[in-house]
Amino acid sequence: MPPLPVLAGSRVVRALEKAGFKVVRIRGSHRVLRHPDGRGTSVPVHGNQDVRVGTLRSILRIDR
């Protein structure tokens, strides 16, 4: 498996939106997204900071 790219939280949210997820609410610096089939996840968006690789891996694992 190739290494995961380093992405800012806003880019992760954008990619999930392209995959069909919708932002359902914002709690502080986290965006909570839900897919019409029921899957959901939370993405940290701290300005322009990158999402850590382990967090990104966890987001991708939930969204399969």
Mean pLDDT by 10 residues, the chain (64 residues): 86 94 95 94 92 91 67
pLDDT value of residue 47: 87
Domains of the chain: 7-63 (3.30.920.30)
Q: Model pTM?
A: 0.85
Output the furthest CA–CA distance in the chain (Å, rounded). Answer: 33
7 neighbors 50 (Cβ within 8 angstroms)? yes
Burial call 38-61: b when 16+ CB within 10 Å, e when fewer: eeebebbbeeeeebeeeebeebee
